[in-house]
Amino acid sequence: MEEERRLIYRVLRHWTEIARGGRLPRRDEINPYIRGDDAANCLLIAVRSPIERSHFVMVGVSLAVALCPTNTLAGMLLSRLSRVVLARCGLTFEGVATLSGVDILHRSALLPLSEDGVTIDHVLGVVSYHPLPAEEALTPQVISQTHWF
């Protein structure tokens, strides 16, 4: 099988193969992505109760931001965290966001992880993006696509 070039689908396929066995993947099964060449576009969220106490454990250099309002890339990922934890499944979505003051088009995934295979203790975030062309100003009317798996 040919190696997938697109980051989101490469990580998603790996996560799905593990989850197909009926359990959520562990952090150590995902470590190649958060420590290898893809690490710059990954983040790891520690899930806490209540969900508002969840926090970033690792943020790749391509995703680092100082603040997380919901219109930033990191804030947008955090705003979907509770839905992923409650649904107990992965989520991919695409649309527009702001990263370091620049409007971007992104494709992202949030993938639940569990050390015991049942309780979600972390969520892996994976993002690929590029700047939005200047003539396409960021507007609230831009539609974002969401897919559960």
pLDDT, tens digit, 9 for 90 and up, residues 82-137? 999 999 999 998 888 777 777 888 899 999 999 998 899 999 999 888 888 777 66
Give residue-wise pLDDT tens across range 15-64: 998 888 788 999 999 877 777 788 888 889 999 999 989 998 888 877 76
Q: Which fold has domain 7-132?
A: Beta-Lactamase (3.30.450)
Cα–Cα distance for residue pair 24/74, rounded to 1 Å: 23
Domains of the chain, residue spans = 7-132
Residues sharing a CB contact under 8 Å with residue 86, sequence separation 6 or more, in sequence order: none
> Taking the complete model, does pTM exceed 0.85, yes or no?
no
Q: For residue 62, give the amino acid letter.
A: S
Give residue-wise pLDDT tens across range 55-81: 988 888 777 653 455 556 777 788 889
In the structure encoding, which two tokens stand for residue 82, read together? Answer: 């509770």
Q: For residue 55, give the amino acid letter.
A: H
Of the CA atoms within 13 Å of residue 21, those in its CB half-sphere come to: 10
pLDDT given at position 109: 93
